[in-house]
A and B are shown apart, each in its own frame.
Chain A
Amino acid sequence: MAVKGWHRAQDPALLVLTSLAAGPMHGYALISDIEEIAGVVLGPGTLYGVLARLEQDGLVEALPADDRRRPYRITGAGAAALRERLLATSAVASVGLRRLGIAPT
């Protein structure tokens, strides 16, 4: 599934989907998790801009709010898009690392 804007490295949408692959999370948990896994500090405006776009594309869905905190979870289409993107990235990464003489971990 082709999703607009997926070609950029460190794409916030890719980071959000990767984070949500671990399970449903609310906004603050997402920001903390992304900072931990990628070292990228997302602003609240950026995060909700990405969530709105992913929700519109049907890649994530909002769950019922729990005390003003609304968790989000990845949909089937979102998981498929993430898998496709990560496989493509990992194939390129393997070739790049091999050509640089570094064994992929």
Chain B
Amino acid sequence: MSDSARSSLPCVVLMNINGNGMGHMSTCLAYANRLRGRARPVFFSLASAIEIINDMGFEADYLVSRFWSRASSWAWDQQLSQRLGMMFERVRPQAVVFDGTWPYRGLLHAASAYGVPRLVWSNLTLYKKDMHEVPVREDNFDLVIKLGELSSSFSVERDSMPGRSVTIPPFTMLKDEDLLGRDAARDELGLNRDGRYVLFSLGPGNLKDISGIGRGLIDGMTQSGYTVVWARAPISSTDVPLPEGVIPLTQFPLLRVMRAFDVFVAAAGYNTCCEVLQSRVPTLFVPNTQVADDQTARAHLVAQAVPAVVSPCETPEQRANAVAHLLAIRTKVKTDAPTIDLHGAEHAADEILALINNG
């Protein structure tokens, strides 16, 4: 986009938290994709995946995440405030969207100090029951976007501002037409059109040591006649060593090529679950229990709509049962599956633009 084109569109700064995964960045990319041509999205990312943002056509800056930094919260927030201030004064945003669990003090201070016209908080809804309530008032924000789970449709919880609150249905980064079909995806990946392939995406390897579970499942799938393709997250600090015969794959977003695979083995992050809903690839979910959101509950919701198995896979028996179950259901079509609305990102973009245009 040329500078003159950029300057004619309202600027929206998207700030995504992250440190261990790319889920929040994926959410912001989904919003940015739907804002394209109607606004100028600029990213302030705590996820160390700036080239991915650039490759999708957006500008971005980076600050080391609080999860990775040894700085105190106070010191880190000071850095955040100063650096956001520099970005705001350069790009002059009409709105700032924060996607994350806990809006940082540094963000709130910088937004207030600059005078950001409109502040938006985007957040999950399905957290674990024992998670402490976030001590940030929703009326600090002009708009709160709550990411609904499988059964959610668009709804307005509170119409008045500040603190207009809406729930949006699930969404993915890509539109349906952006997904490759089975053969085209296999050709792109260099896979045999007639082979049997399973894709593994168990997380970035930064938070949960997945090597034990992963190895056990690889063995189970291999013994069942499948070739294993292991997705390596772009921001892993270390790579899980792979057994011989396993094909590594570094691609983002995976969604574009997911239909190349007969089955999928994955953690149950929000974006992954949405991608399973969109691609309809039969899936074994191995929920990550070390994160704030309730992945187990989410995985069970997805299993109502697509052929899916949910298992912690922590013991050999659990893994064997899970693999057997997955292969037994993979060709079954759920005739009573609910209709799924995956247009949440469109709703979010429309809400953000309405906020800018109508104030």
Report if A and B associate in a common complex.
Answer: no
